[in-house]
Amino acid sequence: MTKRRVLFLCNANSARSLMGEALLRQMAGDHFEAFSAGTEPDEPHAFTLEALNKQGIPTESLQSKSLDEFENETFDFVIVLCDKAQQACREWQGEAKETFYWDIRDPRLIGKVDAYQQALQEIRRRLQLWLPLHTSD
Q: Which of 17, 136, 128, 34 is nearest to 77 (CA)?
A: 34
pLDDT band, very low/low/confident/very high, at 91 (cuts 50, 70, 90): low
- Give bridge partners of residue 100 from the DSSP assignment: 79
Chain segment 18-35, per-residue pLDDT in tens? 999 999 999 999 999 999
Host domain of residue 79: 4-132
In a domain, 34, yes or no: yes
CB 72 within 8 A of CB 49: no
**Count of the separate structural domains present in the chain:** 1
Length of the chain: 137
CA distance 66 to 56: 26
The domain that contains 70 carries what CATH number?
3.40.50.2300
Nearest 10 degrees: CA dihedral of 106, 109, 86, 50?
-40
pLDDT band, very low/low/confident/very high, at 112 (cuts 50, 70, 90): confident
